[in-house]
Amino acid sequence: MCPFNKYAIEKEIIVNENGEISYADGHSLPSYDNARIWLECILDKADPNWLKFNKIPYMAIYSFVLSPLTDEIRLVRNESSGPMFKEVIPESEFAHITQSMKPDEELRYALILANVYKKGLQKLEFTIKKQ
């Protein structure tokens, strides 16, 4: 039983030429080094599996990152509320976004959320858009 709808993330992240990061609604994120991709638990407490899906085997401890800029699959730790932005989008990829991408150009990233045993729980996607 995989809780396909347990977590959600902001679907679009905006990056400008100065490296400032914000959500599509204009809400700013901290600097590149301190920004986080927040995982929000959206599982309804009325769901009959709510207790079960809040146990260790169903918690998103890790994320496998699928980048549009490389063939590598990276494994990052999520911490308590989600992975750090700089671990999902390494410095070389962030430099590409800020320096090489044109305004309104987009990249689509995917996170495969995984439990403590590194078994997949849910796929989430988000877009990085150059402003």
Mean pLDDT value of segment 76-103:
96
CA distances from 72 to 49, 56, 65, 68 (A): 34, 27, 8, 10
- In this model, does residue 17 exceed pLDDT 70? yes
What the block records as the tokens of 18 is 């100065």
Closest CA to 39 of 107, 114, 116, 95: 114
DSSP 57: G
pLDDT for 1 equals 62
Q: In the numeric block, which tokens belong to residue 110?
A: 């995917």
Percent of residues, the chain, with pLDDT higher than 90: 94
| Lowest-pLDDT range of 12-16, 19-23, 77-81 | 77-81
Residue 75 confidence (pLDDT): 98
Q: Which residue has the tokens 């959600």?
A: 8
pLDDT band at 110 (very low <50, low <70, confident <90, very high): very high
Q: Where are the beta strands (DSSP E) in 35-85?
A: 40-41, 62-66, 73-77
Domains of the chain: 7-130 (2.60.40)
